[in-house]
């Protein structure tokens, strides 16, 4: 490395006058091409993370509904699914989804399937998306989520 007074000099760009312009244009084209792939992929990633949030919340609701059914039986000792978001079961909305029982509420948990639905709220990335999970009976596992509106 030379000292401050050494022979360091900056040579002007020698070559064709359009060379810098062409290089910059190529660089911009590459950046735009990368952006055209990455922005939709990021949008899909955001939507997928929101769906995971809803799936996890539905899992909590299923566990709460099972607990409710075990603790609340009819006159014949038959466990009953909850009617709505009361007591043990919380159907409170999250930032992206509204939750509700779409089938089976208030019926026998031994013979009637319970269906829980999460609908994407308007003005969110998941508006128009619906997740449905069904629990065939109190003693069986929930079905994988059915997703519509993606």
User: What's the Rg (C-alpha) of the chain?
Assistant: 29
List strands edge to edge, sheet with 146-148. Answer: 97-103, 114-120, 130-135, 146-148
Question: How crowded is the C-beta side of 129, counted as CA atoms within 13 Å?
Answer: 22
More confident residue, 47 or 51: 51
Q: How many whole angstroms separate alpha carbon 36 and alpha carbon 10?
A: 37
Return the percentage of the chain with pLDDT > 70, whole number: 82
pLDDT in tens, 92-116: 888 899 999 999 998 999 999 999 9
């Amino acid at each position: 490395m030379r000292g401050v007074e050494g022979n360091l000099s900056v040579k002007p760009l020698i070559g064709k006058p359009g060379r810098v312009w062409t290089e910059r244009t190529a660089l911009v084209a590459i950046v735009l091409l990368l952006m055209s792939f990455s922005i939709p992929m990021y949008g899909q990633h955001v939507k997928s993370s929101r769906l995971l949030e809803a799936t996890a919340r539905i899992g909590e609701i299923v566990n709460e509904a099972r607990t409710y059914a075990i603790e609340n039986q009819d006159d014949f000792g038959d466990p009953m699914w909850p009617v709505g978001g009361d007591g043990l079961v919380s159907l409170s909305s999250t930032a992206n989804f509204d939750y509700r029982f779409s089938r089976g509420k208030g019926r026998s948990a031994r013979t009637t399937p319970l269906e829980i639905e999460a609908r994407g709220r308007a003005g969110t990335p998941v508006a128009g998306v619906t997740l449905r999970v069904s629990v065939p009976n109190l003693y069986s596992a929930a079905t994988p989520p059915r997703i519509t509106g993606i």
